[in-house]
Amino acid sequence: MLKEDEHLKKLAENFSTNLKKSGASESSVLISNSISESVNIRNKKLDGSTRSDSLNVVLTAYVGKKKSSISSSNLDESHINELIKKCIETAKITPEDELNSLPDSELYFKGIKNLDLYDETFIENSKKIDFIKEAEEQAFKKKEIVNTNGSGFSQNKSNFILANSNGFIDGYKSSNFSAYCEVVAKSNGSMERDYEYSSKRFFKDLLEPKEIGQKASELAISKLNPKKIKSKKMKVVFDKRIAKNFLSSFASAITSSTIAKGTTFLKNKLNTQIFNNKINIIDKPDILKGSGSRYFDIEGTSTNKLNLVENGVLKNYLIDTYNGKKINMKSNGRASGTSNLYFENGSEDYKNLINSDKEIVYINETFGRGANIITGDYSVGASGFMVENGEFIYPISEITIAGNLNDIFNKMVLGNDLEFNYSTNSPSMLIDELTIGGK
């Protein structure tokens, strides 16, 4: 059973008290408990199940401007004093850094916790197995589906308390349920795989198992007997489950650590036009039941809505306390990274995107290196479909797509089909001309 708030608070307070007694001028303590259960299915038969119940502590001690962190899953009474002693001793021998400190007290979360992040529902193993078996059974109704690469169901419940010597002590429970089905299709000597995946805070919000299995089979079958295409420059439409990867690259390029180091193609770009003027990017932590929703970051700093890009202009970085000081900016609660990151809907209908030229490439899978955030260079292996006059003509594979994010951001056109299925989300996306490497 998940440890309750009071139990975790007592542990955190005990660590905090003893850190101070042992010589810490400042300190923070993170106590977390997580219970995860999962089952794996292959060809409608159980292929394994796991359960983990972890209780962990992360101690951070400051001795003046010296800092040390240590973590452990051994919280036995006999081990606690040794852990605290080691943390203090390590801090004393580390170099001083004038930027080391806890966040300013006025930045701590003090609001109401009303985002509905925890579902009490507990799914027995037998029900997990039945759920994902039903998905695979639905997939196998298509004669082309000959195998599965493995399917699974998992549930995770967690609780944590963060406490520090500035008087902050708070935490909250969260839950996650996820299911996926990955299948293999075969026809005329061609074999292809694809998947469908659903992840939600609440069990009742998951896609139905039949829908998961059916979508997985449809995607795999649609990729059968792919063709190769010649190398050339073309318009490219990215499926929205792939388009969101551009947001991940963008987020990596605007963290305060990369800005401070200068290891990003977006350094010195604050308040500069980096996208076309129709693009808006938001990080919104207060979406009800949101996959990435949270009240505060790993430092206790309140996490509020952040307009990262407004009408194409970069307005904010993702800032933590330490690196924020390096660039003379206060933390905006992003020590844990982004929360619910998304492109706002564009104005173009999906049909307009795929009808944007007589011949375009539609991408629904990428693999490989991706983006180099130092230079902005972008290169991935990909597969998808050739689209002619708005019609999907045949699947394509073994291509590469290359460009530079500076150009890609400026040429980006967004559809109006945004859905919040993940913690990072994008509508369908058209890039006007990328280099396609083929045969």
Interval 243-252: pLDDT, tens? 999 999 999 9
pLDDT classification of 79: cutoffs 50, 70, 90: confident
φ/ψ (deg, to 5) at 54: -115, 140
Calculated CA dihedral for residues 330, 333, 338, 339, nearest 10 degrees: -150
Amino acid identity of residue 81, one-letter, is N
How many CB atoms lie under 10 A from the CB of residue 185? 25
CA angle 253, 255, 261 (to 5 degrees): 80
What is the pLDDT averaged over residues 91-111? Answer: 96
Tokens of 338: 């982004």
d(CA 118, CA 338): 20
Residue with tokens 């439409």: 237
**Does the pLDDT value for residue 439 go beyond 80?**
no
Residue with tokens 């829908």: 211
**Does the pLDDT value for residue 295 go beyond 80?**
yes
d(CA 291, CA 214): 24
Q: CB-based contacts of 242: which residues, under 8 Å, 6+ apart?
A: 363, 364, 365, 366
What is the pLDDT averaged over residues 196-207? Answer: 97
Interval 371-393: pLDDT, tens? 999 999 999 999 999 999 999 99
The SS3 call for residue 173 is strand
What is the pLDDT averaged over residues 138-164? Answer: 96
Ramachandran sector of residue 51 (left: φ over 0; alpha: ψ -120 to 50; beta: rest): beta
Nearest by Cα to 324 from 310, 309, 335: 335
d(CA 115, CA 335): 20
What is the pLDDT averaged over residues 12-21? Answer: 95
Calculated CA dihedral for residues 37, 42, 46, 47, nearest 10 degrees: -70
Tokens of 34: 């997580």
Helices (H), 231-306: 240-253, 256-261
pLDDT classification of 204: cutoffs 50, 70, 90: very high
User: For strand 306-310 and strand 281-283, is the pairing parallel, antiparallel, or unpaired?
Assistant: antiparallel
CATH topology of domain 5-222: PmbA/TldD fold (3.30.2290)
φ/ψ (deg, to 5) at 349: -70, 150
**Does the pLDDT value for residue 115 go beyond 90?**
yes
pLDDT classification of 184: cutoffs 50, 70, 90: very high
Amino acid identity of residue 164, one-letter, is N
φ/ψ (deg, to 5) at 357: -155, 165
Give how far Cα 427 sits from Cα of 173, 306, 413, Å.
Answer: 30, 19, 10
Amino acid identity of residue 360, one-letter, is I
Interval 325-372: pLDDT, tens? 999 999 999 999 999 999 999 999 999 999 988 899 999 999 987 899
Work out the mean pLDDT of the chain and round it to a whole number: 95
Tokens of 292: 């990435």
pLDDT at 3: 87
pLDDT at 151: 96
Tokens of 187: 């026809």
**Does the pLDDT value for residue 78 go beyond 90?**
no
Domain boundaries, the chain: 5-222, 226-439
User: Residues 171, 160: contact at Cβ < 8 Å?
Assistant: yes
Interval 216-243: pLDDT, tens? 999 999 999 999 999 999 999 999 999 9
d(CA 396, CA 359): 13
